[in-house]
Amino acid sequence: MTLDRLVIRRPDDWHVHLRDGAMLKAVLPFTARQFGRAIVMPNLKPPATHAADAAAYRDRIRAALPDGVAFTPLMTAYLTDGTDAEDLARGFEEGVFAAAKLYPANATTNSAHGVTSIDRITPVLERMADIGMPLLIHGEVTDQSVDIFDREAVFIDSTLAPLLDRHPSLRVVLEHVTTADAVAFVRAHAASGRIGATITAHHLLINRSHIFQGGIRPHLYCLPIAKRESHRLALVGAATSGEAPFFLGTDTAPHTVTAKEAACGCAGCFTAANALELYAEAFEDAGALDRLEAFASLNGPRFYGLPPNEERVVLERRPTVVPDVILVSEGDAVLPFRSGETLRWSFAGAA
Ligand SMILES: NC(=O)N[C@@H](CC(=O)O)C(=O)O
Ligand SMILES: [Zn+2]
Ligand SMILES: [Zn+2]
C-alpha cells in the first residue's frame, strides 16, 4: 500500500541562513511556512558576534515575518578569536542565544572573522560546557593543501575528536554532515547523548557527479561540497534510521543568481522553498517515510532540550512545481534547488 498523506508534528529547521534586509524579506516566508522554529546562522556581514547583535537581528526577523505566521527564530553567536565568555554566557542565560557557531576562519561563506585556531577559544568552550550551551560546528579544515573532498573527514580526526576528549561535557552539533566518516563518528559517540548532526535535503539527493552533469552547475555548489555516491547513501541511512543524533537542518543558503553564476561563484543551495517536499522524496526513495517525523520533528528538539511542536502538518502525494526563481529585488533573484522541476509531494500546511 502506498501512503498518500503524511501527518507529522510541525518540524523545525536546525540550520538555516536567513540573511538580512531584502534577502531576509524574500526568503523568510518560505522557512516560516513549513517550520515552527529554526536555528539561525550568524554569518552576516558583519557577523552577529555579541548578544546585542543577535537580539537586534532577532527583532529584524520577527519584523519581516508575514502577518499571522507563528515562527520562532533561535539565535546563535558567531565565535571569533576575541569572543568574550561572559557576554556569551549571559546571552545564553538570558535566552538570546540558543547555541554558538564555530566557523574555522575562511572555511565557508562569510567566515573570514571565524576562529583561527580552536585553542584560542578554550576558555569560551569551557564556559559553554559548564552552562550546557551547544557548540555548532562547520566541520572542515581550512588547509588548502587538503583535498576539498577530504576536508570534513580530516577535520573529524584532527580537530573534532581531540576537542571532544578535551571537553568531556561539551555538547556539539556537527553541522551539514556529508560523509560516511561523519556518520560513523557521530554513531560512535551517540551513547554520550552530547553529539548531534544535521543533514541537508540536498546532500540526501545529490552526489558530486550531479555538480558536473552535462556542464558545471553552480547552483549545486555548497560547502561542504557533495561527496561520492557511497557517502550520500550513508547520509540517507543515517537520516532515515530514526537514531537520536541525526536531525533536520536544511542549510538553506540563498545567494543571488549574479553571485552564484560567476567566475568565482558563492557556496550555498537554496532549498527553503520546498524543503519538506525534498526530504519526503529522499525518505520515500529509502522506503522510510515513517521515520521522517523522528528526523524532522523529534530528534532536534530532544537534543536542544525543547519540547517538540504540538501542531501537526500535512504532506500530500500530489505534484508541486518548484518556483523558477524567487525575486529579491528589482533585477536580482535566488534560484531554488530543483528550480522549475516537479516534486512528488506537496506541503499542505497545518493539519
Ligand atoms: N553551506 C554553504 O555552502 N554556504 C553557507 C555557509 C555554510 O553553512 O557553510 C552560506 O552562508 O552561504
Ligand atoms: Zn557551514
Ligand atoms: Zn550553513
Q: What is the CATH number of the domain that holds 94?
A: 3.20.20.140
Instruction: Specify if 125 maps to a domain.
Output: yes
- Helices 229-239, 180-188: crossing angle, 10 deg rounding: 40
* In-domain check, residue 207: yes
pLDDT in the model for residue 270:
98
pLDDT of residue 20: 98
**Tens digits of pLDDT across the chain (351 residues):** 578 999 999 999 999 999 999 999 999 999 999 999 999 999 999 999 999 999 999 999 999 999 999 999 999 999 999 999 999 999 999 999 999 999 999 999 999 999 999 999 999 999 999 999 999 999 999 999 999 999 999 999 999 999 999 999 999 999 999 999 999 999 999 999 999 999 999 999 999 999 999 999 999 999 999 999 999 999 999 999 999 999 999 999 999 999 999 999 999 999 999 999 999 999 999 999 999 999 999 999 999 999 999 999 999 999 999 999 999 998 899 999 999 999 999 999 999
Q: Is residue 190 part of a domain?
A: yes
Query: Which residues approach ligand 1 with their CB closer than 6 A?
Result: 17, 43, 108-110, 138, 222-223, 251, 253, 267-268
Range of the domain at 27: 12-311
User: In sequence order, which ranges of the chain are alpha helices (DSSP H)?
Assistant: 21-34, 51-64, 85-93, 122-131, 151-155, 161-166, 180-188, 201-205, 229-239, 257-260, 275-285, 292-293, 299-304
Domain assignment present for 335: no
Residue 60 falls inside a structural domain? yes
Rounded (10°) angle between helices 51-64 and 21-34: 70
Position 348 in a domain: no
Looking at the 3D structure of the chain, how many domains does it have?
1
Full-prediction pTM beyond 0.95? yes
Domain membership flag for residue 339: no
Alpha carbon of 308 to ligand 3 centroid (Å): 23
Burial class of residue 349 (count of CB atoms within 10 Å of its CB; 0-12, 13-18, 19+): exposed
Contacts with 5 (C-beta within 8 Å, 6 or more apart), sequence order: 314, 315, 316, 317
Q: Is residue 340 part of a domain?
A: no
Q: Closest ligand 1 atom to the C-alpha of 222?
A: 3
Q: According to the model, what pLDDT value does residue 2 have?
A: 74
270-295 exposure pattern, b = at least 16 Cβ within 10 A, e = fewer: bbbbbbbbbbbbbbbebebbebbbbb
Q: 129-161 b/e with 16+ CB inside 10 Å = b?
A: beeebbbbbbbbbbeeebeebebbbbbbeebbe
CA distances from 287 to 231, 241, 280, 291 (A): 18, 11, 10, 9
Q: Which ligand is nearest to the CA of 39?
A: 3
Closest ligand 1 atom to the C-alpha of 254? 12
